[in-house]
């Protein structure tokens, strides 16, 4: 029994869902998202709730059931409220600035790192004296915002000795002790 797949999705006001064969389109105040779903699964909309059902208990159908229910739920949440990810730049001299969709990062390399953020993701940078610079990403697409955040983080991953690098806000870095003094 799939606990995730059987859970109904409540559709908030202002969100419109259209199902055509195996294509689900979700429109809302934050944007429009589409997702292809498996041809065997059925998506039904009744009384402001959406349910996903599977035809049999085959392993393939069971695995797809919860997956596509979660993807549709993420789309509904994205177009109604949206998603945000905040990245912190920890290190002396680390800076971030953006002009439109072009993000410029100074990460201790000999050159600045330039990264073009996709148009579906809104990027802002924040530099407050006494705090680490931040890169704030906002989007309706959960998959895309996670992928963009992971790519930005990959430019300088947090290292375990001093904790320098790009990390997600609130992320705990496991620290190592370093060298012990020789006697």
Q: Name residue, tokens 């012990």.
A: 180
Pure H helices in the chain: 3-6, 59-80, 142-154
Same domain, 50 and 94: no
- Find all residues with CB under 8 Å of 84, minimum gap 6, and list them: 136, 137, 138, 145
Q: What is the pLDDT along the chain (183 residues), one digit of tens a residue?
A: 568 888 999 999 999 999 998 899 999 999 999 999 989 999 999 888 999 999 999 999 988 999 999 999 999 999 999 999 999 999 999 999 999 999 999 999 999 999 999 999 999 999 999 999 999 999 999 999 999 999 999 999 999 999 899 999 988 999 998 888 766
Say what the pLDDT of residue 117 is: 95
Say what the pLDDT of residue 183 is: 61
Say what the pLDDT of residue 80 is: 94
The last residue of a domain, from among 26, 47, 80: 80
Say what the pLDDT of residue 5 is: 87
Domain membership flag for residue 114? yes
- Output the CA angle 139-144-145, nearest 5 degrees: 50
Determine the structural domain holding residue 152 and report its residue range.
83-168
In the chain, the largest separation of any two C-alpha atoms, in whole Å, equals 75
Q: How many CB atoms lie within 10 A of CB 37?
A: 20
User: How many domains in the chain?
Assistant: 2
Burial class (CB in 10 A: 0-12, 13-18, 19+), 63: middle
Note if the pTM is more than 0.85: yes
The values of phi and psi at residue 148, to 5°, are -65, -45
Between CA 118 and CA 123 the distance in angstroms is 9
Sheet with 102-106, edge to edge strand ranges: 95-99, 102-106, 113-116
The CATH number given to whatever domain includes residue 31 is 3.90.930.12
């Amino acid at each position: 029994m799939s606990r995730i797949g059987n859970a109904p999705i409540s559709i908030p006001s202002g969100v419109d869902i259209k199902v055509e064969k195996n294509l689900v389109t979700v429109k809302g105040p934050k944007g429009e998202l589409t997702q292809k779903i498996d041809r065997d699964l059925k998506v039904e909309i009744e009384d402001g709730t959406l349910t996903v059902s599977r035809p049999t208990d085959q392993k393939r159908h069971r695995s797809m059931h919860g997956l596509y229910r979660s993807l549709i739920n993420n789309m509904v949440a994205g177009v109604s409220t949206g998603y945000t990810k905040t990245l912190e730049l920890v290190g002396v001299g680390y800076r971030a600035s953006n002009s439109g969709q072009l993000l410029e990062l100074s990460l201790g390399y000999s050159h600045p790192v330039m990264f073009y953020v996709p148009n579906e993701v809104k990027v802002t940078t924040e530099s407050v004296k006494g705090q680490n610079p931040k890169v704030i990403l906002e989007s309706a697409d959960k998959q895309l915002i996670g992928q963009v955040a992971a790519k930005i983080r990959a430019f300088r991953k947090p290292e375990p000795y001093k904790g320098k690098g790009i990390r997600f806000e609130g992320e705990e870095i496991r620290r190592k002790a370093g060298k012990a003094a020789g006697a």
